[in-house]
Amino acid sequence: MRRVKRKFLIVAGLFISGLNPLWATSSQKITSNIKIKGDSSKSLSQSQKQQGVLYELNSPEDLFLPSRSREVLVKTYQKVNLDQLENILINNNRTIKIYLEKVDQAKSILRSSLSSWYPTLNLTANGIPQYFESNNYNESSLIQDTSSKQWSSSISAQIKWDLINPARVPEIASARDSFEKSKYSYSIVLRDLKLEAKKRYFNLQKANEEIEVAKKSIESSTLGLKDAEIRFESGIGTKLEVLEAKTQLARDQQLFNIKFGDQKIGQRSLAEILNFPEDVTPLIGSKTQVTGIWDLSLEDSIIAAYNSREELESILLDVSINNSNANAALAASQPKLSIVNTSTSSFAKGELNQISPNTSNTSSNFSNTIGLNATWFIFDGGNSRSLYNYNKSKAKEAKLNFAARRAQIRKEVEEVFFKLESAKLNISASYTEVLSARESLRLAKLRYKSGITTQREVVNNQRDLTDSEVRYIISVTSYNTLLADLSRQTGLDNIKPCDIKVNQQNQSDIDSKSNLYESNLIPLCQL
């Protein structure tokens, strides 16, 4: 018997020693491989040095809910530049922090799954200590009365180690793939939020530029109204010309009011995604301008999107997760073998069921049991097979989703690429339109002062200029947004700085003839 026991221990030891490298590999992998794709955040200290006071703004407490008006009153305005946007977003945005927590949760589940390679130790203590006392009275004279008086305690320890567990490996594989998928989910959300933050930034820039256009239009319309009133009082002009000038001024004031509202909405929208404090509102630190040129062909952009899109990697992980879950479901009905060692120690002082219990009498006991436990679900009503088929079907579904998402990614890249090309042409066209509208307004005013034309022509040209300048700002904003979108689609920052040379001389010639505006147009790039 001892020989059998000895052989068993040797075999078990060899089996266990052979598993140790697997534990080490699994534990090392989970602790070292925690880098997240697409996370370009810098350390806070480094960011503070680069971004100045921006990181001194503490985001509101998670569970803070303002209850007084002064707590939501805007007291501070903070300038934000485009190159600061990404770092502020990564450090402040709560959605990003939520997905980082999801990564930690998946990592904890993986570590929990890895624990199945290790033995379990259960410790049970009874009566630490406990006292028992009782008296038994019998009416029959043949049986004497007895009593019990005893202090007792016991402790038991059990070590259990699964030597064979077919479900263990696929369960760990599923947990590891889920952990990797959580990192991809973080990267996807990070990219989407970067794009959304840029869109809000560009929209706020647009609102600011449109306000400036409205202000200049109001100035021009005010001067036009004064001229019309002077001409009317002098008997040269008509009442109709005065009314037309007033109408144009009212339109410009309405435009200003609308754009002023858009500016306030844009500021709070940007503050929300950057998670600024309740009393801080961001200001744009730069004016609208073309951010660059996409320096990649359509075909190369599509390939780059295929190689960098975490959505595809995430779907491939879905295939692997479902296959692992299928194997785990089937393995649940397979035999399991465990080695169990149970040690029990007890102590008692006193006696039970005695005529005169001796309370000083002591006794102790120790026992140790080691053996193998085997379990095998012979029949489970087809549950394991059904779960296996279900997860295999989910894996096939994921493969179809991969193909569909691949086609969608190409469509998205092509759509943004062609829109970007169209927006590029639209910038040049709208730029030319503004220059022509400025010159037309200058000539219309000269004709009006010379008495050749009426105020209506001036008003119409003023309206055309305002509309053309707004359209130009919109075209630049649309181009910048599409450029940021294409960068997000491909996962590349392949944006080349633009060369500002086109039409500068032409614009200078026109501006030299006109005092309508002191500032030049948004610089036009060599697109």
- Residues 294-339: tens digit of each pLDDT: 988 999 999 999 998 899 999 999 999 999 999 888 888 888 888 8
* Type of residue numbered 121: L
Annotate 191-256 with three-state secondary structure. Answer: HHHHHHHHHHHHHHHHHHHHHHHHHHHHHHHHHHHHHHHHHHHCCCCCHHHHHHHHHHHHHHHHHH
pLDDT score of 213 more than 60: yes
Mean pLDDT of the chain: 80
pLDDT grade for 48, boundaries at 50, 70 and 90: very low
pLDDT grade for 170, boundaries at 50, 70 and 90: very high
Angstrom CA distances, 149 to 41, 138, 145, stand at 70, 18, 14
pLDDT grade for 141, boundaries at 50, 70 and 90: low
Interior/surface letters 13-22, b for 16+ CB within 10 angstroms, e for the rest: eeeeeeeeee
Neighbouring CB atoms inside 10 A of 179's CB total 23
Q: What is the pLDDT of residue 11?
A: 37
Helices 82-92 and 168-233 pack at an angle, to 10 degrees, of 140
Average pLDDT, integer, range 255-274: 93
**H helical segments located in 33-136:** 44-51, 82-92, 94-114
Average pLDDT, integer, range 259-274: 93
| Domains of the chain with CATH codes | 43-55+75-92+166-335+383-527 (1.20.1600.10)
pLDDT score of 5 more than 50: no
Neighbouring CB atoms inside 10 A of 390's CB total 14
Q: What is the DSSP letter of 520?
A: P
- pLDDT tens digits for 336-356? 888 899 888 888 777 666 666
**325: Cβ contacts below 8 Å, ≥ 6 apart:** 170, 174, 387, 391, 394
* Type of residue numbered 488: R
pLDDT score of 253 more than 80: yes
Neighbouring CB atoms inside 10 A of 266's CB total 22
Interior/surface letters 38-68, b for 16+ CB within 10 angstroms, e for the rest: beeeeeeeebbeebeebbebebbeeeeeeee
Residue from 377, 375, 376 nearest 160 by CA: 375
Q: What is the pLDDT of residue 312?
A: 92
pLDDT grade for 63, boundaries at 50, 70 and 90: confident
Q: Specify the pTM.
A: 0.77
Backbone angles phi, psi at 336, to 5 degrees: -120, 140
Average pLDDT, integer, range 225-251: 87
